[in-house]
Structure 1
Amino acid sequence: MRLLPIAACIAAGLAAPAQAEEVFGGIYAHGVDTPFTFDTGEGGLDVQIGVRSDRIQALDFLGKPAAHVFGSLNSREGGTDFVAAGLSWTIGAGPVYVRPGIGLALHNAPELRVDPETRIRTDLGSRILFEPEIAIGTNLSERLSVEASWVHISNARLLDRDQNPGIDMIGARVNWRL
């Protein structure tokens, strides 16, 4: 089952209470080998699209983060698609900035997946995962910015102590302020 229709409905529902301040989209390498994951047998490219709110003044005690909601669609049949929602911060003065973020993701990967050669489980361990991310970006104009970013999804062994391969995505995205 592809997650795009579900992601669109969830994104629309979550974004409705807040005014969208920015839209973004990007292309990511899926299943990148990093120290935070082990091989799930996935690959391909992801297309990610989403929205961000303006900084949330009521969350001043957290540094006034912006809310974000995005969907990620993998190019390979049977690859993991997901929708994520969370908070992100823009840190930096001038044209270059860093944008860390944290959220939760809902994905459609198999509930049980075993590598046929190694017999190691490569499923993600739970349907809901943590979604930390970090980007470094630059403002090209008042409305347009570009970012190189890393997005990770995993359960951090909190939702399933025995299973946590995780998936890393590394890519670039374009942001457009409304």
Structure 2
Amino acid sequence: MTAPAPAAADQLWIGGYRHDVTLAQEKFEGGQDIKAGWIGERFDGLRKIGRPAPHLLFSKSLDGGTNYLAAGLNWTWGGRLYLRPGIGLAVNDGPRRAYRKGKRVDLGSPVTFEPELAAGWRLNTRVAIEASWVHLSHATIFSRQNRGMDSMGVRLLYRLP
């Protein structure tokens, strides 16, 4: 009798990111983040929406800025070179109100959407590297304040055996 094999698609990743690279508006935080995450096996039952995979993401600001935890779905398109768009919900510990030059610059809610996009290269069957963009925003659903915040970085992925 053999033990069941773990999900072949499960991946763990870690990356370094530039925090709050938002270009369209006044920045209220800066510095670097360490982000880490998990990407699960694709859902066969969700074929109608392209068999997405679940993901978890934790972001820790190294400079005292906003930290967050997110969960959502992502899709991987391609082979050795690929794109990975995703969407999730995040809970953050950012300030509830922050002002710069008399203008409000906080996220406006402790709950935000977490769209992301990565472009990756599979180095072999287990290891990949991705350039990644992650955004936090709530589309003015949770309050009228909706500044949004972007992070950009590089992450290393390891596919579990």
**TM-score (normalised: structure 1):** 0.83
Partner deviation per Cα, 1:102-159 (whole Å, 9 max, x = no partner): 00010000111122xx211111111100000001001000010000010000111122
Instruction: Judge conservation of contact 1:40–1:123 (CA < 8 Å) in 2.
Output: no
Name stretches of at least 5 consecutive residues in structure 1 with no aligned partner: 1-17
User: 1:173 Cα deviation (Å)?
Assistant: 0.4
The equivalent residue for 2:3 is: none
The equivalent residue for 1:143 is: 126
Instruction: Judge conservation of contact 2:33–2:62 (CA < 8 Å) in 1.
Output: yes
Which of the residues 146, 150, 160 maps onto 1:164? 146
Partner SS state of residue 58, structure 1? helix
**In 1, Cα distance between equivalents of 2:133 and 2:103:** 25
Question: Identity of counterpart residues, as a percentage?
Answer: 42
The alignment status of 1:86 with 2:69, answered yes or no, reads no
The equivalent residue for 2:113 is: 130
Partner deviation per Cα, 1:70-125 (whole Å, 9 max, x = no partner): 10000112x00000000000001x3100000000010000111122xx21111111
**In 2, Cα distance between equivalents of 1:71 and 1:24:** 10
**In 1, Cα distance between equivalents of 2:69 and 2:23:** 22
Stretches (4+) displaced over 6 A: none
Letter of the 2:128 partner, please give it.
Answer: S
**TM-score (normalised: structure 2):** 0.91
The equivalent residue for 1:6 is: none
The alignment status of 1:61 with 2:48, answered yes or no, reads yes
Instruction: Judge conservation of contact 1:154–1:164 (CA < 8 Å) in 2.
Output: yes
The alignment status of 1:175 with 2:157, answered yes or no, reads yes
The alignment status of 1:41 with 2:28, answered yes or no, reads yes
User: 1:165 Cα deviation (Å)?
Assistant: 1.0
The alignment status of 1:74 with 2:61, answered yes or no, reads yes
**In 2, Cα distance between equivalents of 1:33 and 1:102:** 18
Q: Which structure has the highest strand share of the two?
A: 2
**In 1, Cα distance between equivalents of 2:17 and 2:155:** 8
Q: Which structure has the highest helix share of the two?
A: 1
Instruction: Judge conservation of contact 2:128–2:157 (CA < 8 Å) in 1.
Output: yes
The alignment status of 1:26 with 2:20, answered yes or no, reads no
Instruction: Judge conservation of contact 2:85–2:116 (CA < 8 Å) in 1.
Output: yes
User: 1:41 Cα deviation (Å)?
Assistant: 1.8
Instruction: Judge conservation of contact 1:31–1:39 (CA < 8 Å) in 2.
Output: no
Instruction: Judge conservation of contact 2:133–2:152 (CA < 8 Å) in 1.
Output: yes
Letter of the 1:82 partner, please give it.
Answer: Y
